[in-house]
Amino acid sequence: MLDEEIIYQDGLPVMYEVFGIERYPRHRHFDTLEILFASRGTVDVLVSCDRFTITEGNFLIINPRDFHSIKSNDAENIIVLFYININHFEKYFPFIKATIFACQSAAAKDNKGYEVQLINKLLAKIVFEIANKQEEYPQKVDELVHKLVTILFNHFNVINYYNRNIKISPVKLAHYYIIQKYLYEGFMTRTVLDDISKNEFFCKSYLSHLFKEITTFSVNEIISWLRVWSSEELLINSDMDVRAISEACGFSDPKYYYKHFKKWFGCTPKEFRLECNRIKDAGSSYCKLDSKLGLDSFADCFVSPDGDQLFAEENPPVINRTKLQPKGNRALAKSGLAQESSKERKLYNSNLPVADATLVGKVLLLLDISPQDGFERSVEMIDTLRKQGVVPRIAFQGDGCQTTERERFINRLTGIYGQEEVAKWEFWAKVTV
């Protein structure tokens, strides 16, 4: 039972299950990002070498391939487990399999409170759509999960989760992900750094400085962690002795394996194996509950997930209002669309019979952003631009795009995509000069 396969239904990239848990033994999921939500009661979760206590109304992100176990002393607990198929999102986030996500929502509320709120409400909406299976629900669920993964990638990637306020250039970030992917695929080989240097033309000193700058760990510390992390499977699943495990995971000497294992797990490999066997012998004690109970559970924790309430903003982030000022000279300012081709300016100023949100070339033209469905369509089109590698350019024109609505709209986008991402986009508001 250590390796659990998730069977996704109806072509969805997500599924959820509802449990009452006393003891759920150590297990893992391949290519699945798991979110554990404590709907009722409190649970203790052991994820690899980390221990978490998840209280009612909070969630925990569990990375793919991380061994984890769950236990609780609350007899009436209700736990909702969400499974997200990361293979589905690899085309949008090429390095998602080499990304470490980090979030215990209770600990993140101080500096990620707005994003935590959005995640909670997106989870509620996903449960609502799957439980009710209304018309076109697979498409709606897919859109919701894409928003959820975007928030996770922008805000709960381990690089930016701890809010270290570092500025990383896009070039360095791209290099980091390239190297991290190499490390994930080749950490067991002792020539992995030489292979990266040879194939990507990075000198070893650059690799070291880059990782230290971005993660605060040296590249050698990352490699040692990956080797220790991979040894967990052999300690649990095999009868190999510690020396053989050390060699299989890429350590040149068992003493280095002991040193790094104890650094991360706080015990020796032998002590860890004995503890795993003790937990295994204790067996499992949990029951699967009616999936519709998930909907009732979320209704108890949040406002019912319908309409505007899903994106309600009690404390929206502050935006830079100068962002809405038109660019360019007076003539361009009059058109409200700066530094664009004459063809696009003409389209922008014409009275086109279009919906509230329409793509005109590579510009998103907004006539009315006040209704919820208008916002949903807008986000869908923004996602279309981003998937094409196009930096979104958004033009507000209609009567439904007054100053308050524009600010609220950008606040929503900031909550989904992150301040750093939205700051790169261009916005135009039609003005009278």
Query: 220 with 292, same domain?
Result: no
What pLDDT is recorded for position 402? 65
What pLDDT is recorded for position 142? 93
Cα distance between residue 267 and residue 49, in whole Å: 10
Side-chain-side CA neighbours of 356 within 13 Å: the count stands at: 16
Query: 122 with 108, same domain?
Result: yes
Query: 301 with 361, same domain?
Result: no
- The residues pairing with 426 across neighbouring beta strands, listed in sequence order, are 393
Domain range spanning residue 189? 170-282
Whether 90 maps to a domain, the answer reads: yes
Which helix or strand (DSSP H or E) is residue 177 part of? helix 170-186
Whether 5 maps to a domain, the answer reads: no
Taking the CB of residue 45, how many other CB atoms lie within 10 A of it?
22
Q: Helix, strand or coil for residue 336? A: coil
Gap between the terminal Cα atoms of the chain: 69
Cα distance between residue 150 and residue 383, in whole Å: 10
Residue ending a domain, among 249, 271, 305, is: 305
What pLDDT is recorded for position 295? 67
What pLDDT is recorded for position 297? 62
Rounded to 5°, the CA angle 257-262-268 comes to 85
Does residue 315 contact residue 113 with C-beta atoms inside 8 Å? Answer: yes
What pLDDT is recorded for position 403? 66
pLDDT in single tens digits along all 433 residues of the chain: 588 999 998 899 999 999 999 999 999 999 999 999 999 999 999 998 889 999 998 999 999 999 999 999 998 899 999 999 999 998 888 888 888 898 888 777 777 888 888 898 899 889 988 988 888 899 999 999 999 999 998 888 887 776 556 677 778 888 888 888 888 888 888 888 888 888 888 888 888 888 888 888 888 888 999 999 999 999 998 999 999 999 999 998 999 999 999 999 999 999 999 988 888 888 899 999 987 776 666 655 544 344 334 333 333 333 333 333 333 333 223 333 333 334 333 333 333 333 445 555 556 656 555 554 456 667 777 877 777 777 777 777 655 566 666 777 777 777 677 777 787 787 776 543 3
Does residue 282 contact residue 384 with C-beta atoms inside 8 Å? Answer: no
Query: 177 with 268, same domain?
Result: yes
252 backbone dihedrals φ, ψ, rounded to 5°:
-80, -20
Query: 236 with 263, same domain?
Result: yes
Cα distance between residue 405 and residue 412, in whole Å: 11
Burial (Cβ within 10 Å: 0-12, 13-18, ≥19) of residue 233? middle
Query: 322 with 236, same domain?
Result: no
What pLDDT is recorded for position 299? 58
What pLDDT is recorded for position 234? 93
What pLDDT is recorded for position 164? 59
What pLDDT is recorded for position 344? 39
Whether 8 maps to a domain, the answer reads: no
Burial (Cβ within 10 Å: 0-12, 13-18, ≥19) of residue 252? exposed
Cα distance between residue 219 and residue 211, in whole Å: 6
Q: Cβ neighbours of residue 345 under 8 Å, at least 6 residues apart?
A: 332, 335, 337
Cα distance between residue 149 and residue 117, in whole Å: 14
Rounded to 5°, the CA angle 134-139-143 comes to 120
Query: 111 with 194, same domain?
Result: no
Q: Cβ neighbours of residue 96 under 8 Å, at least 6 residues apart?
A: 86, 89, 90, 149, 153
Whether 310 maps to a domain, the answer reads: no
Count of domains for the chain: 3
Tokens coding 322: 């100068």
Cα distance between residue 200 and residue 251, in whole Å: 24
Model pTM above 0.85: no
Whether 7 maps to a domain, the answer reads: no
Query: 18 with 140, same domain?
Result: yes
CATH of the domain at 174: 1.10.10.60
CATH of the domain at 21: 2.60.120.10
Query: 23 with 142, same domain?
Result: yes
b/e map of 119-138 (b: 16 or more CB within 10 Å)?
bbbbbbbbbbbbbeeeeebe
